[in-house]
Chain A
Amino acid sequence: MTLSQQILQYLITGVTVGTIYALIGMGFNIIYNSTEIINFAQGEFVMLGGLLTVSSMQILHLPLPFAALVSIIGVALIGTLLNIAAIRPVKDPNPITLIIITIGASIFIRGVSSLIWGKEPYPIPAFSGEDPIQFFGAVIQPQSLWVMGVALCTIFGLRQFFGRTITGKAMMASAFQPKAARLVGIDTRFMVLISFALSGLVGAVAGIVIAPMSMTQYDIGVMMGLKGFCAAIIGGLGNFWGVLLGGLALGILESLGTGLISSGYKDAIAFGILLLMLFFRPQGILGRTKGDRV
Chain B
Amino acid sequence: LRIPAFIRSPYAGFVLFTAVLAVLPPLLTNDYYLNVLIFIGIHSIIAIGLDLLLGYTGQISLGHAAFFGLGAYFTGVLTAKTSLPPIAGLVLALVGVGILAYIIGIPTLKLHGHYLAMATLGFGIIVQIFFKELNFLTGGPSGLVGIKDMTIFGYEFDSDLKYYYLVCVSLLLVLILSINVVQSRVGRVLRAIHGSEVAASVLGVNVSRYKVAIFVLSALYAAFAGWLYSHYMTFVSPSSFGFMFSVKLVTMVVIGSLGSIWGAIFGAALLTSMPEFLHVFENYETTVFGFILVSVMIFMPRGLLRGLEDLAIVVYHKARELLAEKGEEA
Which residues of A line the B interface, CB within 8 A?
Answer: 38, 86, 89-92, 95-97, 99-101, 103-112, 114-115, 222, 226, 229-230, 233, 237, 262, 264-265, 267-268, 271-272, 274-275, 278-279, 282, 294
- Select from chain B the residue with minimum beta-carbon distance to A104: B293
In the assembled complex, B243 has its CB within 8 A of some CB on chain A = yes
The 6 nearest A-B residue pairs measured at CB: A111-B287, A108-B290, A104-B293, A107-B290, A111-B286, A271-B122
- Are A107 and B247 neighbours in the complex by a CB distance under 8 Å? yes
Contacts A92-B301, A100-B297 known; A268 to B130 CB distance under 8 Å?
yes
In the bound complex, residues from chain A placing their C-beta under 8 Å from that of B298 are: 86, 89-90, 101
**Do A110 and B60 touch across chains, with their CB atoms under 8 A apart?**
no
A108 x B283 contact (CB < 8 A)? no
Contact of B129 among A100, A110, A264 (CB under 8 A): A264
A92 contact set on B, CB distance < 8 A: 301
Please name all residues of chain A whose beta carbon is closer than 8 Å to the beta carbon of B129 when the two chains form the complex: 264-265, 267-268
| Chain A residues within 8 Å of B113, by CB | 95-96
Q: Look across to chain A and name the residue whose beta carbon is closest to the beta carbon of B134.
A: A264
B115 CB contacts on chain A under 8 angstroms: 233, 278, 282
In the assembled complex, B132 has its CB within 8 A of some CB on chain A:
yes
Given known A100-B293, A115-B287, contact A267–B125 (CB-CB < 8 A): yes
Distance between A163 CB and nearest chain B CB, rounded to angstroms:
25
Task: List residues of B (118-135) whose CB comes within 8 Å of A's CBs.
Answer: 118-119, 121-123, 125-126, 129-130, 132-133
Q: For the complex, is B99 an interface residue (Cβ under 8 Å from A)?
A: no
A275 to B286, CA, bound (A): 29
Q: Find out whether the CB atom of B114 lies under 8 angstroms from the CB atom of A38.
A: yes
Q: Which residues of B contact A91 (CB under 8 A)?
A: 301
Residues of B contacting A268 with CB < 8 Å? 125-126, 129-130, 133
* Chain B interface main SS type: helix
Name A294's contact: one of B54, B198, B290 (CB within 8 Å): B198
B281-304 with Cβ < 8 A to chain A? 283-294, 297-299, 301
A108–B130 touching, CB < 8 Å: no
In angstroms, how far is the closest chain B Cβ from the Cβ of A210? Answer: 20
B198 touches A104 (CB 8 A): no
CB-based contact B291/A97 at 8 Å: no
Q: Is B58 an interface residue (CB 8 A)?
A: yes
B-chain residues with CB within 8 Å of residue A108 when the two chains form the complex:
287, 290-291, 293-294
Does B251 touch A at the CB level, under 8 Å? Answer: yes
A sample of 18 cross-chain residue pairs with beta-carbon separation below 8 angstroms, ordered by A number, consists of: A38-B118, A90-B301, A95-B114, A96-B54, A100-B297, A104-B293, A107-B247, A107-B290, A108-B291, A111-B284, A115-B284, A226-B125, A230-B122, A267-B129, A278-B107, A278-B108, A279-B108, A294-B198
A208 smallest CB distance to B (angstroms): 24
CB distance from B24 to the nearest CB of A (A): 31
A189 and B113 CA atoms in complex are apart in Å by 23
- A230 to B: closest C-beta gap in Å: 8
The reply to whether A111 and B289 contact each other, CB–CB distance below 8 Å, is yes
Asked whether any CB of chain A lies closer than 8 Å to the CB of B38, the reply is no
**B147 interface residue (CB < 8 Å to A):** no
Closest chain-A Cβ to B139's Cβ sits at a distance in Å of 14
- Complex contacts, B111 vs chain A, CB 8 Å: 278, 282
Q: A86-B298, A272-B126 are in contact. Are A222 and B290 (CB under 8 A)?
A: no
How far apart are the CA atoms of A92 and B122 in the complex, in Å? 27
Question: Given the complex, which residues of A lie within 8 Å of B297, measured CB to CB?
Answer: 90, 97, 100-101, 104
CB-defined contacts of A237 to chain B, threshold 8 Å: 114
- Measured CB to CB, the closest approach of chain B to A281, in angstroms, equals 11
**Least distance between B57 CB and chain A CB atoms (Å):** 12
Given A90-B298, A267-B125, residue A107 in contact with residue B289 (CB < 8 A): yes
Residues from chain B with Cβ under 8 Å of A115 in the complex: 283-284, 287
Answer yes or no: B250 CB below 8 A from chain A CBs: yes
Q: How far is the CA of A110 from the CA of B130 in the complex (A)?
A: 26
- Distance (Å) between the CB of B236 and the closest chain A CB? 19
Q: Which chain A positions have C-beta within 8 A of B108?
A: 278-279
A11 to B288, CA, bound (A): 42
Q: Which residues of A contact B114 (CB under 8 A)?
A: 38, 95, 99, 237
Known: A101-B298, A107-B286, A262-B133. 10 other contacts (CB 8 A): A95-B113, A96-B113, A100-B250, A104-B290, A104-B294, A110-B290, A111-B288, A264-B132, A272-B126, A279-B108
Complex contacts, A233 vs chain B, CB 8 Å: 115, 118
B117 at the interface (CB under 8 A from A): yes
With A86-B294, A106-B290, A275-B122 as contacts: A100 and B254 at CB distance below 8 Å: yes
* Given A103-B293, A268-B126; A110-B119 close (CB under 8 Å): no
Contacts of A99 in B (CB 8 A): 60, 114, 117
- Given A96-B54, A115-B287, A279-B107, A101–B133 Cβ distance below 8 Å? no
Are A100 and B251 in contact (CB-based, < 8 A)? yes
Q: A residues within 8 A CB of B196?
A: 294
CB distance from B152 to the nearest CB of A (A): 36
